[in-house]
């Protein structure tokens, strides 16, 4: 049995903890300032704790999914130096090392996939930290996620999550730009959204180009040179047409204008 404490039973933390509560090889204790999710976890078989300090006593691993860095620091102070502290919150790049400098054994293990993936155990969990600590936390991590990546030393999980979310939120901003263009063109935005989600589920969306181990320029004989040269040709053509349409309709599309000259170079061409 792996003895796990879980702190922070919010929209993502609660379904993560429920996955742990249902596991045969996990003995789970939980804590949250809100009583209702604690009661729900208790009904699912977890042991409620009256405080973080109480939860940490005897735990092998304490998982933390709270709002921000300051809350993480507060929990860490009460956990102390006994268990492996697994920080699932997305924190500043320097926070994991700061916690380790205080004498704690820390894994930074932010997650991706949202509440739906948390509920069905299909989260991606990106982990930074020592191999021994990762091994201790692995049973809990693999109960909560179907894609658990040991990204490297302490801090690597956070850096990977920030890189992943850079894609996420820049893409969201691009979507708002595309919506303005579509709206000006008289299109149904909900139908456009359905098309985008449908095709991204097939192609992989922006992640479809992420197969190389480096961002260095491509040699002409490289397999990916031909693939990405085709991507560039299509992309530059369609971006050009989209910018022309935006000019015709009077829509500002700064991201499209930035992408047009940067696409080929970014692909390594």
What does each C-alpha distance from 17 to 37, 124, 147, 163, 252 come to in angstroms?
A: 10, 15, 17, 26, 45
* Cβ–Cβ under 8 Å, residues 107 and 86: yes
Determine the distance from the C-alpha atom of residue 85 to the mean position of all C-alpha atoms in its chain, rounded to a whole number.
Answer: 18
Q: 242's torsion region: left (phi>0), alpha (psi -120 to 50) or beta?
A: alpha
Q: Just list the catalytic residues.
A: 161
Spatial separation of the C-alpha atoms in residues 203 and 253, rounded to whole Å: 24
The two structure tokens encoding residue 236: 């530059």
Sign of dihedral through CA atoms 158, 161, 163, 169? Answer: negative
Q: How far apart are CA 142 and CA 159, in angstroms?
A: 20
């Amino acid at each position: 049995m792996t003895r796990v404490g879980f702190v922070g039973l919010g929209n993502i933390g609660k379904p993560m903890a429920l996955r742990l509560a249902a596991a045969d090889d996990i003995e789970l204790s939980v804590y949250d300032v809100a009583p209702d999710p604690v009661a729900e976890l208790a009904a699912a078989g977890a042991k409620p704790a009256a405080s973080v300090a109480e939860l940490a006593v005897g735990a092998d691993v304490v998982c933390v999914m709270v709002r921000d860095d300051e809350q993480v620091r507060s929990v860490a102070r009460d956990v102390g130096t006994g268990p492996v502290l697994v920080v699932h919150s997305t924190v500043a790049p320097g926070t994991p090392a700061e916690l380790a400098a205080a004498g704690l054994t820390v894994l930074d293990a932010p997650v991706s996939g949202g509440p739906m993936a948390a509920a069905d155990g299909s989260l991606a969990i990106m982990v930074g930290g020592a191999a021994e600590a990762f091994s201790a936390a692995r049973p809990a991590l693999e109960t909560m996620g179907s894609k658990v990546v040991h990204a490297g030393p302490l801090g690597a999980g956070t850096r990977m999550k920030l890189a992943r979310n850079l894609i996420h939120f820049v893409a969201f901003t691009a979507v708002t730009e595309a919506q303005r263009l579509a709206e000006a063109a008289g299109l149904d935005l909900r139908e456009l959204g359905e098309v985008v989600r449908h095709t991204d589920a097939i192609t992989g969306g922006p992640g479809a180009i992420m197969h190389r181990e480096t961002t260095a320029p491509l040699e002409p004989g490289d397999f990916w040179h031909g693939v990405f040269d085709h991507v560039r040709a299509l992309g530059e053509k369609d971006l050009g047409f989209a910018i022309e349409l935006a000019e015709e309709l009077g829509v500002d599309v700064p991201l499209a204008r930035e992408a047009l000259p940067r696409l080929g170079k970014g692909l390594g061409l």
